[in-house]
Structure 1
Amino acid sequence: MRTIIEPFRIKMTEALPITTRSEREVLLARAFNNVFLLDADHVTIDLLTDSGTGAMSDRQWAALMLGDESYAGSRSWRRFEQTVREITGFKHIFPTHQGRAAERILAATRLKKGNVVPNNGHFDTTRANIEYVGAIATDLPSTEARDLHSEKRFKGNMDLDGLARAIGVEGAANIPFCMITVTNNTGGGQPVSMENIRRVKELLKIYNIPLMIDACRFAENAFFIKECEQGFADRSLLEIAREMFSLADGATMSAKKDGLANIGGFLACNNDSWADDFRNLLILTEGFPTYGGLAGRDLEAISVGLMEALEIDYQRYRHATVEYLASALIARGIPIVRPAGGHAIFIDAAAFCPHLRASDYPGIGLVNALYLEGGVRAVELGSVMFGKPAPEGGEEIATPHELVRLAFPRRVYTQSHFDYLIEVLDVVWRERASIEAYRITEQAPFLRHFTAHYERADV
């Protein structure tokens, strides 16, 4: 059949909040024009993030009842360890309460001030943890990624020439490790090819630089490789995932994405010395190494979810959902990052709002317009999230692209929800000239987008 249906049926529902525009105007003002500060009870369609917002399966809920809450060496830990090792092959595996905890331990134990970490695209918490210890997070996206609207595949790849130049300039000794994020969230959820990962590893091996994979969406990346890269059509997603991880020396992961769980993550590696450092800091800040800040029931749910994410029918449905929305927006002329990524639609806010400058934060204007029009919560990925103050003060340094991400929670919304979303976007698109400029009135030194306060620039 041509219609790809949800490979599940619904056995429990959760009421959606329905609000009026006048109510939303008051609520957004109370939240200082920052949708992060809205109560979820005031959001109808919540596409803020796909992290921990998915629906667990009946098998995951059943697994919760098997949770062994022993402090050390629980049965749940052994099942978790076995599952992660079956997928990744790594020697040392450490559970953490979420992905940013793994990033923090990695950065705190391996980096010092002035070190450089190349990546195809650091996302917000990865960058923040690297910069917090005084190191430098360097993005090296592929040259194809610069054209947001081209239909080339694997635009999430790392720029190999750029990586070679970075090693030449910085010196291998100043690059404690390199990272590849799969899929490349910062770059529009674009996938990374197996060939690119292999070639990155070959280059790094010359200089004895370890490779870490940010594996939040490893299963979605594996699906892209199966569908779009020559030689993988007959391979299972598990086989493809194993090959990806075999090219790396370690990984960080938020299990709140392709672990299909509401909390959790892990840090893994093959190096015994690294593992000793990870373990010591994990005990200090997360918990004993066999639970890492998680309950046994969480470990059980992740163990099931990691394997469910590698089911081909699930991935076909998820990618068809993204394509459904992408096709509708393209047909209306709405500018999005193309081709569609694996977990979200990324709107080109600069092209959507040509009357606004980067310093007007067009992404914030668009995010707020979506909420006011239909109670839809999205997130800005532009000069608020990734912009930087110029050296010694002055104007901010804008990002190359001003994006707004509509992230899809896993197994949560149906086609009618997306049809509603299309209607909301259609109205906002037709009235885009009225989208307002914003300025920041209060911000934190790191990850400012979470708590910043805004006001309309004409106030």
Structure 2
Amino acid sequence: DNTRTVENAYFIQKREEGYADKSIREIVKEICSYTDGCTCSSKKDCLVNIGGFLAMNDEDFFIDAKAQVVIFEGLHTYGGMSGRDMAALAQGIRESVATDDYIKYRVEQTNYLGELLTEGGVPHVIPHGGHAIFLDARKFLPHIDQEQFPAQALAAAIYVETGVRAMERGNVSAGRDPETGENRKPKLELVRLTIPRRVYTQSHLDYAAEGIVNLYHSRDSIRGLKFVFEPKLLRFFQARFESL
């Protein structure tokens, strides 16, 4: 999966011995040299709003893949993407590794939000990632049972309090056991605060952090949720809830 290779290259540059003097472009090229192929969702590191690609070294596999893409996406010359989207993707790939400045700013912006939450005592996953901060909903809301979807409840409360849209990564996302029909109960109940690239200023992050810290101080007022609509598939995208 090549989706966040540029982010990973930045962490390699900062944390792994022997890479401090290498550019992001050089590290990305080295990572790719060890692979036979990759898939990539271009909406992340490649700075575009839509699209992706499949790349490979094997000629026979490439010929088979070209035949399959016609069935599912469109001719191999565009794969379901418009000319504008392909041009934007090509430019995005160039810009993502043209200098180290872009990815440094992106990762450090995410870290800035994490540091604000650390100062406010908000429980979250450390070390901070490259594109998102993950709140620990079980520690944030210890009074809410996992059957009452603490991560989903926290994401909803953040939206009500701040207008910031976050993503649940816990019980709701885990779905139900197909044999028992019971909710799966993952060890982690997380809320993902993903930072869109080239969108937010420092003041936006200050606002989001202040609202979440304030919410943490009044966390006992947050209640669990129950389903009012639960689809069979992708319930974390389509389900609806109400407070208990």
Please tell me the TM-score bracket, short chain as reference: over 0.9
- Map residues 106-125 of structure 1 onto 2, 5 A cutoff: none
In 2, the alpha carbon distance for the partners of 1:443 and 1:387 equals 10
Which residue does the alignment assign to 1:450? 237
Read off the aligned partner of 1:442 and give its amino acid letter: F
SS at match of 1:385: helix
Which residue does the alignment assign to 2:218? 431
Using the TM superposition, give the Cα deviation of residue 401 of structure 1 relative to its aligned residue in structure 2, in angstroms.
0.4
Which residue does the alignment assign to 1:371? 159
* Contact kept? 1:387, 1:399, Cα under 8 Å: no
SS at match of 1:389: coil
Identity of aligned residues (%): 44
Which residue does the alignment assign to 2:72? 285
- Residue 408, structure 1, aligned to residue 206, structure 2: no
In 2, the alpha carbon distance for the partners of 1:308 and 1:403 equals 32
Read off the aligned partner of 1:349 and give its amino acid letter: A
Using the TM superposition, give the Cα deviation of residue 364 of structure 1 relative to its aligned residue in structure 2, in angstroms.
0.9
In 2, the alpha carbon distance for the partners of 1:388 and 1:248 equals 35
- Map residues 209-228 of structure 1 onto 2, 5 A cutoff: 214-228=1-15
Q: TM-score, normalised by structure 1?
A: 0.51
In 1, the alpha carbon distance for the partners of 2:178 and 2:225 equals 19
* Contact kept? 1:390, 1:396, Cα under 8 Å: no
Which residue does the alignment assign to 2:129? 341
C-alpha spacing 1:257/1:298, structure 2 compared with 1 (3 Å): same
- Map residues 259-270 of structure 1 onto 2, 5 A cutoff: 259-270=46-57
In 1, the alpha carbon distance for the partners of 2:212 and 2:73 equals 42
In 2, the alpha carbon distance for the partners of 1:249 and 1:356 equals 46
Work out which of the residue numbers 114, 132, 136 in structure 2 matches 1:326. Answer: 114
In 1, the alpha carbon distance for the partners of 2:206 and 2:95 equals 27
Question: What is the CA deviation profile of residues 260-290 of structure 1, one whole-angstrom value per residue up to 9, with x for unaligned ones?
Answer: 0111100112223332332112011211101
Work out which of the residue numbers 5, 17, 21 in structure 2 matches 1:234. Answer: 21
CA RMSD between the two structures? 1.3
In 2, the alpha carbon distance for the partners of 1:455 and 1:271 equals 51
In 1, the alpha carbon distance for the partners of 2:233 and 2:50 equals 22
C-alpha spacing 1:245/1:444, structure 2 compared with 1 (3 Å): farther
In 2, the alpha carbon distance for the partners of 1:234 and 1:392 equals 54
Which residue does the alignment assign to 2:184? 397
* Contact kept? 1:253, 1:266, Cα under 8 Å: yes
In 1, the alpha carbon distance for the partners of 2:227 and 2:87 equals 42
Using the TM superposition, give the Cα deviation of residue 227 of structure 1 relative to its aligned residue in structure 2, in angstroms.
0.8
C-alpha spacing 1:387/1:399, structure 2 compared with 1 (3 Å): farther
- Residue 360, structure 1, aligned to residue 148, structure 2: yes
Work out which of the residue numbers 139, 144, 154 in structure 2 matches 1:351. Answer: 139
Using the TM superposition, give the Cα deviation of residue 382 of structure 1 relative to its aligned residue in structure 2, in angstroms.
0.8
* Contact kept? 2:148, 2:225, Cα under 8 Å: yes
In 1, the alpha carbon distance for the partners of 2:24 and 2:58 equals 26
SS at match of 2:8: helix
Question: What is the CA deviation profile of residues 274-325 of structure 1, one whole-angstrom value per residue up to 9, with x for unaligned ones?
Answer: 3233211201121110111111121111111112112211112112211111
In 1, the alpha carbon distance for the partners of 2:228 and 2:58 equals 46
Question: What is the CA deviation profile of residues 330-365 of structure 1, one whole-angstrom value per residue up to 9, with x for unaligned ones?
Answer: 111111110100001110111100011221111111
Read off the aligned partner of 1:334 and give its amino acid letter: V
Which residue does the alignment assign to 1:274? 61
Q: Which structure 1 residue ranges, 4+ long, deviate > 6 Å from structure 2?
A: none
- Map residues 19-418 of structure 1 onto 2, 5 A cutoff: 214-310=1-97, 311-389=99-177, 391-393=179-181, 395-418=182-205
Read off the aligned partner of 2:33 and give its amino acid letter: S
Read off the aligned partner of 1:265 and give its amino acid letter: G
* Contact kept? 2:157, 2:222, Cα under 8 Å: yes
User: How many aligned positions are there?
Assistant: 243
* Contact kept? 2:175, 2:235, Cα under 8 Å: no
Using the TM superposition, give the Cα deviation of residue 390 of structure 1 relative to its aligned residue in structure 2, in angstroms.
5.6
The structure, 1 or 2, with the larger RCO (C-alpha pairs under 8 Å, 6+ apart) is 1
SS at match of 1:396: coil
Question: What is the CA deviation profile of residues 412-440 of structure 1, one whole-angstrom value per residue up to 9, with x for unaligned ones?
Answer: 01011111111111111011111111122
Read off the aligned partner of 2:115 and give its amino acid letter: S
Read off the aligned partner of 1:359 and give its amino acid letter: E
Q: TM-score, normalised by structure 2?
A: 0.95
Read off the aligned partner of 1:383 and give its amino acid letter: N
SS at match of 1:314: helix
In 2, the alpha carbon distance for the partners of 1:397 and 1:385 equals 9
